[in-house]
Structure 1
Amino acid sequence: MTPKFEIRADHDRDTIVVYQAYAPAIADAAVAAQRFVPPFSTHRMTWIKPSFRWLMHRSNWARKPGQERILAVRITRAGWEEALAQAVLTSPERRVYTGNDQWRTLFAHAVVHVQWDPEYSLRGAKLDHRSLQVGLSRHIIEQYVADWTVDIRDLTPTVHRMHGHLRSGHADRARALLPPEKPYPLAADVAQRIGVTAV
């Protein structure tokens, strides 16, 4: 049984892949430069997601306006864990905070926001377990751009191919193209901070 709150991702010893959806202008510039450059803005929050399937649901398989391009951004695990170590949940979850006042104080000063959203199946069905989203504020985005990013790949052609397989009834072919995913290990204090639980 998949734990309800667990990070599942494509990761190796040093890096982890997160996914983002952008308009073509931002995606083209980022892939060419292998880092985020204008028209990407470092003055607004950006959300990174380790779940490919969640982003497919959110972007409607790269068909929503402004989300036509799917990027796989490989970042350092050191950067990822630095972000999580500063994170505050977007709601006052009782399993993490002693009360609303504690949460409000922490959230008011948070440079990283995290939230757990329902995970989705390949066909778009809502599942019982959750997927993590991480919001990087303008106070930390420069580190994401300049220090953490290792590689940026455009997955849009693969996304279109997978969606085509699903529309033609070949879910097995689409599933074969899914990025690898396995549980991501966390230090106990970080796991507690973001509300990771065993069940």
Structure 2
Amino acid sequence: MKEKEIRAVYDQNTIRVYQAYPDMIADEAIKLGTFGSHFSLNRMTWIKPSFLWMMYRCGWAEKENQERVLAIDIKREAFDKIVKNAIPSTYTDDMDTSKEEWQKLVKSSDVRIQWDPEKDIEGRNLSYRSIQLGIRNNAVKEYVNDWIMQIEDITPYVKELNLSRRKGIDITPFLPNEQVYPLL
């Protein structure tokens, strides 16, 4: 089994996660410093601390409705709490619970955790898995109203990196400096 790691940009107080949205949601979030009326509090939203996984997911800001990439610094204590309380999005036989009990937990939980193969610059799988967290209900409300410390639109940076990448330039030195994140 591949090793699971959380790699992120973080400091003592915050950890950076990424999300991609259409202009309407991104513009409002930048203006307000959090998500506004165009962001749905009634659906699950996925946050990803891995920059390259987000680039894979949003196609370097070229996929429809994912043209704007936001770097969102959230409170570390909130991130740690949701990781510890998340329910895996997929059942496996090595879990300490039955499939039926897991199904009940998934339905009642506000946080899902998913470990997907980390990606390299070209979107190929690496040897370890990166975290994605799906939040809904009370967790998404707390995210919007309390956890977000800062939102930055990094779309121009993403587009510049992608242009260089397509020209065959090594963009590795220009990527965010993600470190292995220690869960307490």
* Shared fold (TM-score, shorter chain, > 0.5): yes
TM superposition score normalised by structure 2: 0.94
* Alignment-derived partner of residue 102 in structure 2: 103
Q: Which has the higher mean CA deviation after the structures are superposed, 89-98 or 76-85?
A: 89-98
Of 146, 164, 182, which residue of structure 1 is paired with 2:179?
A: 182
Q: Which has the higher mean CA deviation after the structures are superposed, 68-77 or 30-39?
A: 30-39
- Separation (CA, whole Å) in 2 of partners of 1:65 and 1:35: 22
Q: Which has the higher mean CA deviation after the structures are superposed, 91-100 or 59-68?
A: 91-100
CA displacement 1:132-190 (0-9 Å, x = unmatched): 1100112221110111000000110000000011111102xx22221111111113xxx
The one-letter code of the counterpart of 1:77 is R
**Contact 1:14–1:77 (8 Å) recurs in 2:** yes
- Separation (CA, whole Å) in 2 of partners of 1:95 and 1:186: 22
- Separation (CA, whole Å) in 2 of partners of 1:17 and 1:165: 24
**Contact 1:87–1:113 (8 Å) recurs in 2:** yes
* Alignment-derived partner of residue 33 in structure 1: 32
CA displacement 1:35-64 (0-9 Å, x = unmatched): 111211111111000001001011110000
Pairing 1:167–2:166 present: yes
Q: Which runs of 4+ in 1 moved over 2 A?
A: 93-99
Q: Which has the higher mean CA deviation after the structures are superposed, 153-162 or 175-184?
A: 175-184
**Contact 1:119–1:128 (8 Å) recurs in 2:** yes
The one-letter code of the counterpart of 1:179 is P
Q: Matched residues, percent identical?
A: 40
Structure 1, gaps ≥5 residues long? 188-199
Q: Secondary structure at the match of 2:90?
A: coil
In the alignment of these two chains, the number of paired residues is: 183
Per-residue deviation, 1:95? 4.1
* Alignment-derived partner of residue 91 in structure 1: 90
The one-letter code of the counterpart of 1:46 is T
- Separation (CA, whole Å) in 1 of partners of 2:156 and 2:119: 21
TM superposition score normalised by structure 1: 0.88
- Measured on the aligned residues, the alpha-carbon RMSD in Å equals 1.3
* Alignment-derived partner of residue 195 in structure 1: none
